[in-house]
Structure 1
Amino acid sequence: MWEVLDRLFEKSIKLLAFISLLLLSFIILFIFKESLIFFRAVPILKFITRNTWNPLAAPENLSILNIILGTLYVSIVAIIIALPIGVGSSLLLSGYVKEKPRLILRGLIDVMAGVPSVIYGFIGLLVLVKFFERVFDFSSGESVLAGGILLSIMVLPYIISTCDETMGKMYEKYSIAAKALGISKGYIIRTIVLSQSIKGITAAAVLALGRAMGETMAVMMVIGNAPIMPKLLGKCQTIPSLIALEMGMAEVGSLHYHALFAAGFVLMAILLIINIALFYIKRSMSQL
């Protein structure tokens, strides 16, 4: 009987995985089909290398270079801020915090991941943006930096969860032997746990980057949504915020409508390229 249940469970898991891949394939094909109509009017190279976004003008004025750069800029700022904090927090949880407090802290961190993005955006608008305006006397606190700081808080739970799982296993694996040799806990964590967790840290960075580049509502509320060349203390616009703001007002079937699908297709392509590149980096690092 147990063999039958095991086989049934295995087939169910395979079926669910197949359905998931099928749904993902249909989504990609649908976005590609809608984008292809736009790419027949505007070549993809012009679309991603020019910096004018004006849906009311000629098709040649629909291009998203500034918006691509804004998406990358905000996401990279978020990763630069969040990754050191996340790795340090994971080292602390895996090596220095006892089991019961560690479970409580992990629970609180997981709760952070479940907070709706609009709540983060509302707090960022009322606290972060106002802080920049009052303390630093900016004409507008809405900026790449504000979006990066807010995103870093949002992706922090994903980094900590991924790194802590890997580092906890590494610490359990080597701590007994290291203690028997009289090696200090700090030395174990710095030289063994951290170095053996590079794959986990890379996976956390990839996961966080994908989450950051795909975030819409929270970022849209604090970056100013101006399709101009992004600066750290200036406004910008990201591809998700562009789609969210303009899809509702774009006429179905118009070139503007298909241009928004094309922007989504470019975002997926960028994420795919980044994931492939980081995969090969991680594989080359593991062979050293």
Structure 2
Amino acid sequence: MNLEGIFSFIIKAITFFSIMMLFFIILFITKESIVIFKEVSFFKFVLGTNWNPIGSHPEIAILPMLLATIYVSIIAIIIALPIGVGAAFFLSSVINREYRKIINPLIDILAGIPSVIYGLIGFVVLVRFFESCFSLPSGESILAGGILLSIMILPYIISICTESMLKIQKKYKQSSQALGVSKWYMIRYLILPTAKESIIAGLILALGRAMGETMAVMMVTGNSPILPKLFSRAQTIPSLIALEMGGAQVDSLHYHALFGAGFLLMIVLFIINLIFYWIRKRI
């Protein structure tokens, strides 16, 4: 076997291992979740509003946490997407290559900062800001979580969109200059329509990152399992699992309920990815 064949075999083996690892993770979560759905119906688990799995009369329902997870993520996307796409246009079409080489690594560093650092800054700055400016008893809220998450997902949107827009610009720049087309006309009518697919790809990656974020959101949302409102406390599914899994007795109803929450989050992310995949195909 030559070097190329060895390299091909290694790549295929790594790919197969990654797929099997994902398969076994899904299988394990599903297996641990089935127990709770034998005790509580799936619809009651999803649509109920009370979470008290360790009481004398256990109540297990995940709707407030599910809504909070989606609510925080949508706020983050609404804030981050226009800023991220605008920053990508700026980096790919406005500034020159030398400045781009300086700014791109700084954006990549933002993605590498630990989430607990973001959470600490959000707790000290955002939460205190809401308490002082809006006269709230507590600044921990859905809005604080959404703003913090929008900062955390910006590097993913910017990086994907910038790379795609640079390729599109390289493809059309010479012919556009030959025809006397202005830079802004090229951005409006060539780069933006062609970059739609990469924008959606960045949106999918950022949304998955936002819905799975734990520590930062946990530090600024207040962790109250109640129906979420913009300026009130709430608790997301990842925060719920992180806070309670350590204290849940193995094989207890509480333990399997937390796996059920993770299973539900996995289903929601899968459905969202399918929807965006269909949109990309339509585009």
What range describes the TM-score normalised by the shorter chain of this pair?
over 0.9
- The residue aligned with 2:29 is 31
Aligned partner (choices 220, 244, 264) of residue 222 of structure 1: 220
Quick one: distance in 2 between partners of 1:14 and 1:104? 36
| 1:247 match: secondary structure | helix
Kindly provide the amino acid, as one letter, of the partner of residue 182 in structure 1. G
Distance, in Å, in 2 between the alignment partners of 1:125 and 1:61 is 31
- In structure 2, the residue matched to 1:69 is 67
- Deviation per residue, 1:37-96 (Å, 9 max, x gap): 111111111100111111233676100011100000000000000000000000000001
The 5 Å alignment of 1:25-64 reads 25-57=23-55, 61-64=59-62
Q: 1:262-288: per-residue Cα shift (whole Å, max 9, x none)? A: 000000010000000110011112xxx
* 2:243 aligned partner: 245
What one-letter code is carried by the residue in structure 2 that aligns with 1:161? S
Q: Which amino acid aligns with 1:238?
A: T
C-alpha contact 2:145 2:217 (8 A) present in aligned 1 = yes
| Long gaps (5+) in structure 1 | none
Opposite residue 203 of structure 2, the aligned amino acid is A
Equivalent runs, 1:130-169 vs 2, <5 Å: 130-169=128-167
Which of 205, 208, 215 is equivalent to 2:206? 208
SS in 2 for 1:248: helix
Q: 1:111 aligns with which of 109, 112, 119?
A: 109
TM-score of the pair, normalised by structure 2: 0.98
Distance across 2 between alignment mates of 1:151 and 1:24:
26
Partners of 1:93 and 1:102 within 8 A in 2: yes
Letter in 2 for 1:144: I
TM-score (norm 1): 0.96
Q: Percent identity between the aligned chains?
A: 56
Name structure 2 gaps, 5 residues minimum. none
Match of 1:86 in 2: 84
Contact 1:41 1:59 in 2 (8 A): no
Is contact 2:52-2:58 (8 Å) kept?
Answer: no
Matched, 1:180 2:173: no
In the alignment, the residues of structure 2 paired with residue 97 and residue 265 of structure 1 have an alpha-carbon distance, to the nearest angstrom, of 45
Q: Provide runs of 4+ in structure 1 moved above 4 Å.
A: none
Aligned counterparts of 1:62 and 1:223: Cα–Cα separation in 2:
21
